[in-house]
Amino acid sequence: MSRAAREHGAQDTYRASGFTGAFTFGSRPAVVVVDFCLGFTNPSFQLGSEMGEVVRRTRTVLAAARKRGVPIVFTTIAYDEGAQAATAWVRKVPSLRELATGSRAVEIDPLLGRLPHEALITKTGASAFFGTPLASMLTACGVDTVLVAGATTSGCVRATVVDSVQHGFGTFVITDCIADRSTGPHEANLFDMTAKYADPLTAKEVIGHLERIFEIEV
């Protein structure tokens, strides 16, 4: 059976199980960029892989968001010596030790052009919400729609998407602004999480929504 046939069968199964709803793109969106730090986007690091094209595409979404004053939140993972010793996830994935506090690996990829006023959350878990003030920050800004980009699709992106919808936000995955180390986990997790927890949008579609919602005087 071809991959297309398998995917079609899976879609039929999901629809038959009632996975048929959708979110409405709201009037107060925010962009959450999950872990596009050098430790993931630069293949010179053990955890890294080549993500340049996806990172540059994400930059176009951020440019559109910045023009319209849309909140942007970046996350990175970093462990100090105590956290490395105490965090169970590090025991499971020892290469996470490479993400040491203050190291180059935890810096946001400069291709994204993060501005000084744009929030940066440092986390030690997979989800951008776990043990962080992200939910409170989004709520304080009146956000009703969360747009998720970042890495990796099967890990921190998925965990963030699940927590986003559980916090009550209409959640969208920017499908061509997320990346993983392997095609299989990327495709499988993208399919599953956009069936259950989020809606898919391309970068072009996101920019179109922002243009529709926010008028800019030129």
Give the count of beta carbons closer than 10 Å to the beta carbon of residue 15.
Answer: 11
- Out of 37, 141, 156, 177, the active site residue is 156
> What are the structure tokens assigned to 138, written together?
């989004």
Residue whose entry in the numeric block shows the structure tokens 């010596």: 81
**156 catalytically annotated:** yes
Distance (Å, whole) CA 39 – CA 107: 8
Catalytic residues: 156
